[in-house]
Structure 1
Amino acid sequence: MDTSQNTALTRALTELPGPLPVRGVIHIVIPHTDRFTVVGNHLAQHAGLSTTAVGLAVRIQSLPQGTEIGIKALAARLSEGEKLIAAALRELEAHGYLRRARTRLPNGRILTRTVFCNQPTALLRNRVGAVRPQRPPAPPQAPALPDVQQEQEQEQEPEAPAPQEQAPEAPAPQDHAPFVALVPPPTAPRRPSPPLPQPRELTAELDRAATALLSDLRRHAHQLVLSENDIRQLAPAVAAWLERDTHPDTIRHTLTNDLPQPLRHPAKLLKHRLTVLLPPPLPGADDLAAPARPRIAVTPFQTCDGCERAFRAPTPGHCRDCRNAHSPAQAAAA
């Protein structure tokens, strides 16, 4: 049987008109007279669909009207599993070839209405021409066709929620807020790095101590091997730490603790830590002293010249009762 088929194929090649291509596929086209389905190249050569989705779309397109194409029904007829079939159906639904919507009947039963369109772009183009210009066109994932087939909703896709009917989209507003990019583009200029801290006065003693501390870091962390040029650049920053009365062990622990793995640029890491983690100067004795409490002026006690009762007043004299008692008498004498 195979030999006769190969002979027939070789004979058919000799009967093809024109020169044959040197490489690539050679088509022998025999017109179909029955049992055929027309498939567009937009589906057969779709760049966004997997081979499984394209093959499943061709299989669904070849089925007669009313055939069940649920996941379990297709898995019973095909060699692919339910997960692979469910993923292919989601691809077809995303590109507008398939639509599934849940419908509740008057008796409370839920059905899934499945629609397959062999050319969704043409359907979308016809619908866009009939819609008014001020309304947005309908999405390609939800074409409305007159011929509909129904399936029971007893099955659900594995690892995917059942699709729900989308609410009609509201018309887009006329005025839009200006777009503000929250993340700068990769071509945006980088913010300049902060400069290294500098001491008020780089004395020879500070420079020698800072250089020795940087040179000794590789004993505590083998990744921190610095060149002489790196040490000269970083020594003023370490001197600024020492000038602020920071203990060398504290500086060493700050520079060697929790190093990233792998460490590709040790000098850059030390520059960042010396700049960002710089401690403030130690406060002086006057800064640590408790602030003096404000003095509150107290009115002194006075002894009344009339009744000898104590009362508060800035100057000696009579109390309030004596002043009120003497006031009518002084007025009569006058």
Structure 2
Amino acid sequence: MDTQQNTALTRALAEVPGPLPTSGVIHITFPHTDRFTVVGNHLAQHPDLSCTAVGIAVRIQSLPQGAKVGIKALAAHCREGEKRIAAALRELEAHGYLRRVRDRLPSGRIITRTVFCNRPAALLHPRRPAEAPPQPAKPEPAPAQAPVQEPAPVPAPAPVQEPAPAPVPAPMQEPAPAPAPVPAPMQEPAPLPASAPVPMQEPAPVPVCHPTAAPPAPEVPVAPVVPPAPSAPLFVPRVPPPTAPKAPRRPLPRPGELTPELDRAATAFLSDLHRHAPQFTLSQDDVRRLVPGVAAWLERAVRPDSIRRTLTDDPPQPLKHPAKLLAHRLTELLPPAPPGVDDLAALDRPRPRFTVTPFQTCDDCDRAFRSPTPGHCRDCRETRAAYAQAAA
């Protein structure tokens, strides 16, 4: 009786259509009426974006126009730190969802605009203007029919006097696109004497216009539809994506000649490594793969204890792949080759010595001067030469 039952959840599960799956997620979906954002599956299920990048993208997409989406602005409302948010923004920028565009205002100030596109794939296909549906050809108007003239009424019998018949005006013809037969105008019959019977006159036949089919519209040659050339992307990322291909790894060093002595010494070194560092326990295949690298170190006259200390010093914790760490350090920390005999002879070769003139003290004025032999300085020599000339 102390177990709490969630009746609301039980009722919601009962309303899920179809049988419930035995494993996996069960969706209970209620339609949103307000405060919701439409997110495409291309973003929610992106195979190359991290969950942090997808969450940051959904948060940016839910913000109104003009909201601050910088690193510090997002860090103030999210639990992630600034480094994780900056890495997520770089991922979105690498996949085209986010762009940072530099723009110059009319005042001359340069600003950075942040543009977010909810479907970057649509930017690669420009929108076409909606084409109007072809309208059917209008049928040509049928030729107008001539007005049907009713027969004139028969006049009543007149007295004996015969009045003069009035002149009948000529009938007016209406313009028509196609000529139609126009019946001749009917003249009023002359009055007959009262004693004579009135003859009945048959009405003139009414012309019948048969409708003619409109001529077919001329066929207009339809030009073949040429698909538009793919336009260049609107934005070009200035920061290289963090998923750029890495440089290939350098191969494991090898000695000039893998002699049996080097092979035996390298195998013994790697097999005994776990006694000095237990975390570096290697398999037989790892030992055979790393033997050439250790042999290259031994060939360069490096002592085994120095190799062991260099390879096992300060390993990462926890160490998951000791063989990969040893291969990396054997390749990157390889010492230079020892100098040859000629290089050592060049070091022992005596350097050329420069001759330095010693100092001497003048016998007359005790002034110091440089000279290979003792004697007088230059001033004293010139004074002695002047005295000798004067005495001569």
Q: Shorter-normalised TM-score: what interval? A: 0.3 to 0.5
The TM-score normalised by the length of structure 2 is 0.36
The TM-score normalised by the length of structure 1 is 0.41
Give the helix-richer structure, 1 or 2. Answer: 1
Bigger radius of gyration among the two: 2
